[in-house]
Chains A and B, each alone.
Chain A
Amino acid sequence: MPLLSLEMRPELSEVDMAVTSLKEAAGHALSEMKLATFEIALSEALTNAVRHGLVSVEGSAAPDQPIKVTLSDSPRGLLIEIIDAGAQGPEDLYEDVASPDAIDLMAESGRGLSLIRHCVDDLTFEPAPGHNRLELLFHPDLDT
């Protein structure tokens, strides 16, 4: 059952407002600690969607194409679906992602995918021509 659907412009300044709205809508279903990891994964995923969604299939900027986000309740837990209109991502983007423990402590970037993987209970990434679909699952009863 959809709890909240929204569209956001592919701009970094839009991410925080979207995360705050979605976190509020998810608050009833997750423990406080789980909600914290939900916020981390969602923030990183939307930031990635903005960064990658800014490039269209043709390789030109596509700033007018919104990112669609849906939060739903399902028998498996809370689901977040993020669909961007960017260039098709690699199929294996989320495979063999290093755990946060394995990332150089002094690295200034490169933690995003690792944090998403670490903070979700399951993840599906479906890249396609003209859009990428990312689904994140959060079990309500399991703290990471």
Chain B
Amino acid sequence: MIKFHGDAADGLGIVEPGTDRLTAANATSFKDDVLGLIEAGTSRLVIDLSKVDFVDSSGIGALVGLLKRIGHRGEIVVSGLSDNVSQMFRITRMDRVFSSYDTAEAALRALRENA
């Protein structure tokens, strides 16, 4: 389901959920797919939500689970949040947990600069 654009050399990558709604129907498979990337060595990830119109509490839980799994070994940031998704992030205070960027490219640049 997910789409991944990555660079194995520096462990950096962009993940697109590959769905317009990240919800209870697909949050577990999304999380498992991204965990596979983390296990394979991608430690700094941009979750690009620019094509996602809605995230529910299960989607939020999946993102938090990924952040906890990667821990201090890496970093996860988000990009491309729509007004709808931004509101969910504000209500659940995820705006305090995840650094957010307008575009995946800007997020990738920031991750590279932080390295």
Chain A residues proximal to chain B, CB less than 8 Å:
12-13, 15-16, 19, 32-33, 36-37, 39-40, 43-44, 47, 50, 100-101, 103, 105-109, 111-112, 115, 118-119
Q: Are B25 and A39 in contact (CB under 8 A)?
A: no
- The reply to whether A106 and B68 contact each other, CB–CB distance below 8 Å, is yes
Option from B23, B57, B94 in Cβ contact (under 8 Å) with A15:
B23
Inter-chain contacts of B56 with A (CB < 8 A): 40, 43-44, 47
Smallest CB separation, B20 vs chain A (Å): 9
> Do the beta carbons of A100 and B91 come within 8 Å of each other?
yes
| Chain A binding surface, main DSSP class | helix
Chain A residues, CB < 8 A from B23: 12, 15-16, 43, 47
Interface assignment of B83: CB less than 8 Å from any CB of chain A: yes
Partner of B68, one of A32, A108, A109, A112: A108
Given A107-B64, A115-B57, do A15 and B93 touch, yes or no (CB 8 Å)? no
Residues of chain A within 8 A of B97, CB atoms compared = 105-106
Among B24, B54, B68, B97, max chain A CB count under 10 A is at B24
